[in-house]
Amino acid sequence: IIYEIGGGIKDGKKFKAVQTGGPSGGCLTEKHLDTKIDYDNLLASGSMMGSGGMIVLDEDDCIVSVAKFYLEFTVEESCGKCSPCRIGNKRLHELLGRITEGKGTMEDLDRLRNLGEVIKDTSLCGLGQTSPNPVLSTIDNFYDEYVEHVKDHKCRAGQCKSLMQHVIDQEACIGCTACVRVCPVNAISGERKKPHFIDSSICINC
């Protein structure tokens, strides 16, 4: 479907994952590309058919941010009747937020997996039972990216703003002070007509 019907990845970028089944679906990897599109096969692969939607992710998409994005939907849509869905998904969302902000720990990754399984097993309705799918499938298939966010404070897709560190190219900078004049927190310093520097402890990554 992706390559023959959809025409492949836009701009020739590298395939990362395909998310099926809407917000409650999972993210499948390159090894799943030949999976038959039916209810049983998608469930066996860690995703679901849902309404038949399919979203293709490439190398510029952060898998942790994607999981966080889909979880926002279930947090908003939860009816609130059962605690696993009402409270558990909020905790999952908070943990993902910590990770994308560079404040996560390896213990948080264990908490994500354990809490996700509890929510899946104990929620009362289909929404709650499938809500952890984006988290669980991405941890299973892209664990190394989660570890990079936690240990290296790195987002390989460059999407997590808090993990970005801006620098000035010392060879290209002519010291025109244009950046100094617009920086809202005075994080840039340097003499006129000489290379400038960014103080990463002050920079807000605007």
User: What does the pLDDT look like over 126-154, one tens digit per residue?
Assistant: 999 999 999 999 999 999 999 999 999 99
Write out the two tokens for 66: 């994607």
CATH number 3.30.70.20 is the correct assignment for the domain at 165-206: yes
User: What does the pLDDT look like over 62-74, one tens digit per residue?
Assistant: 999 999 999 999 9
Distance CA 133, CA 130 (A): 6
Domain ranges of the chain: 10-152, 165-206
User: What does the pLDDT look like over 94-127, one tens digit per residue?
Assistant: 999 999 999 999 999 999 999 999 999 999 999 9
Domain pair 10-152 / 165-206, same fold: no
Distance CA 181, CA 33 (A): 50
Report the topology of domain 10-152.
Answer: de novo design (two linked rop proteins) (1.20.1440)
Q: Is 38 exposed, middle or buried (0-12, 13-18, 19+ CB in 10 A)?
A: exposed
